[in-house]
């Protein structure tokens, strides 16, 4: 590691308060994440959805009703998470750009590892910035917390691609959800093709839910469920027109569920109760400081979010902020802000049409349903 980073790590460990003493051991932390889906889940009141595992997790934990991804597409959204910073200030807001990590900053896995955590990512990264060596203990399709040394606390991410937009419109899918009953947003035309796409989307959410259930069962069977704080969230809005890639609420609102076992109830947000919900405004920029707060450490000044749980919980923000930059090969500049009720959007390139041509969205094979612009990748 570069000497400057070693010095920064030393200073962080020297001046950040030690881990909480409320528990004999620090908590394990498990993140279960999914792609390209908003809060179209049973626990969010969607009667069309079939998501029993996530519904059960929400029945034990806390559901966030006002969570934003900050960016409506994967790479900028994930850059926000890994850095704990707004990519618009660092130059990483454009889809699959690559910028240097700002001097004097560290990514959250580096901070957790410095605090003694075994950190794994399974397996999507897709950051818009250079990732330093040693960011993760392991980041691969085989990364798992069960590889950690004995008695070492872990932080682990498991990401599923089942609900990704590329899977929503694959040909030959046999629908399980009834397309005639699909709840269409008012800005989509009521046609058989659109209904098919929404039904297939919900089918994929059910499959994603099954994967979440498998990971939760695995945690329980390992004997770690009562020492592990669990987060579930989607990485941005649904992979449907006017959601993914667009900083409306439909593109930025994500499901976020957190579960605290009784041993770590003192770290839970104020008002936490099984089956509860909160309207506190939270967004991806808040995840890194929240992780540090859960292990008893205050956030270093280069992190730009606010911890919403743990020993160093901060007051809720008044607003959440979203952004849209270049989407694949087409530049754009849109910013959005919400108070949790209204969304204000400002277009800084108003001469550009809403429906700019994107090769990703046009390079496709139409499924048997004749679905709408089914993309590949992203």
- 375 closest CA partner among 325, 327, 334, 340: 327
pLDDT digits over 249-299, tens only?
A: 999 999 999 999 999 999 999 999 999 999 999 999 999 999 999 999 999
Is 367 a residue whose pLDDT tops 80?
no
**The tokens of 153 are what?**
């606390």
Whether the CB-CB separation of 84 and 288 falls below 8 Å is answered with yes
Residue 354 has pLDDT above 60, yes or no: yes
Position 92 pLDDT exceeds 90 = yes
Q: What is the pLDDT of residue 106?
A: 98
CA-closest candidate to residue 241, choices 185, 199, 196: 185
CB 160 within 8 A of CB 234: no
Q: What number is the average pLDDT over the span 172-187? A: 97
The per-residue pLDDT for 294 is 98
Q: Are 372 and 197 in contact (CB under 8 A)?
A: yes
- Pick from 235, 254, 257: nearest CA to 34: 235
Q: How confident is the model at residue 331 (pLDDT cuts 50, 70, 90)?
A: very high
Decide: helix, strand or coil at residue 66: strand
Identify the CA nearest to 58 among candidates 308, 286, 277, 307. Answer: 277
Tens of pLDDT, residue by residue over 195-208, are 999 999 999 999 99
- At 221 the pLDDT is 98
pTM here?
0.92
The residue to which tokens 């994500």 are assigned: 254
pLDDT > 90? residue 361: no
pLDDT at 22 over 60: no
Window from 21-25, 181-185, 256-260, 338-342 with minimum mean pLDDT: 21-25
Give pLDDT, residue 1.
Answer: 53
Nearest to 332, CA basis, from 308, 314, 351, 311: 351
Residue 214 banded pLDDT, cuts 50, 70, 90: very high
Write out the two tokens for 68: 């934003």
Please say if the pLDDT value at position 341 is more than 70. Answer: yes
List pLDDT tens digits, range 39-88. Answer: 999 999 999 999 999 999 999 999 999 999 999 999 999 999 999 999 99
pLDDT class of 2 with cuts at 50, 70, 90: low
Tell me which of 74, 119, 361, 364 is the catalytic residue.
74
Largest CA distance in the chain: 62
| Cis peptide bond N-terminal to 123, omega within 30 | yes
Q: Is 119 a catalytic residue?
A: no
Q: What is the pLDDT of residue 8?
A: 52
Higher pLDDT among residues 359 and 297, named by residue = 297
The CA distance from 27 to 200, in Å, is 38
Instruction: Look at residue 336 and give its three-state secondary structure.
Output: strand
Assess whether pLDDT exceeds 70 at residue 371.
no
């Amino acid at each position: 590691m570069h000497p400057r980073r070693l010095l920064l790590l030393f200073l962080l460990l020297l001046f950040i308060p030690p881990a909480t003493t409320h528990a004999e051991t620090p908590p394990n932390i498990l993140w279960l994440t999914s792609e390209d889906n908003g809060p179209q889940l049973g626990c969010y009141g969607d009667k069309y959805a079939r998501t029993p595992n996530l519904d059960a997790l929400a029945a034990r934990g806390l559901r966030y009703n006002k969570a934003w991804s900050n960016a409506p597409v994967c790479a900028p959204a994930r850059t926000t998470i890994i850095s704990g910073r707004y990519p618009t200030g660092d130059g990483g807001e454009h889809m699959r750009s690559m910028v240097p990590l700002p001097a004097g900053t560290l990514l959250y896995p580096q901070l957790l590892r410095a605090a003694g955590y075994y950190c794994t990512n399974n397996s999507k990264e897709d950051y818009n910035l250079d990732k330093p060596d040693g960011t993760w203990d392991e980041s691969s399709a085989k990364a798992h917390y069960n590889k950690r040394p004995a008695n070492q606390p872990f932080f682990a991410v498991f990401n599923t691609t089942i609900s990704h937009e590329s899977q929503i419109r694959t040909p030959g899918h046999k629908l399980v959800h009834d397309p005639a009953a699909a709840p269409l947003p008012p800005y989509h035309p009521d046609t058989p093709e659109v209904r098919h796409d929404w039904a297939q989307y919900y089918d994929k959410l059910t499959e994603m839910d099954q994967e979440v259930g498998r990971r939760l069962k695995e945690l329980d069977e390992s004997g770690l469920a009562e020492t592990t704080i669990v987060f579930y969230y989607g990485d941005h809005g649904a992979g449907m027109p006017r959601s993914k890639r667009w900083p409306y609420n439909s593109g930025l609102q994500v499901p976020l569920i957190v579960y605290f076992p009784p041993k770590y109830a003192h770290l839970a947000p104020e008002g936490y109760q099984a089956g509860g919900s909160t309207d506190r405004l939270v967004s991806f920029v808040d995840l890194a400081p929240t992780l540090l707060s859960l292990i008893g450490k205050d956030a270093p000044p280069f992190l730009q979010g606010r911890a919403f749980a743990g020993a160093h919980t901060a007051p809720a923000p008044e607003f959440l902020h979203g952004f849209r930059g270049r989407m694949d090969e087409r530049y754009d500049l849109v910013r959005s802000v919400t108070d949790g009720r209204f969304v204000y959007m400002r277009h800084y390139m108003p001469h550009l049409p809403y429906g700019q041509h994107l090769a990703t969205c046009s390079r496709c094979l139409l499924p048997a349903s004749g679905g709408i612009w089914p993309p590949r990748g992203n």
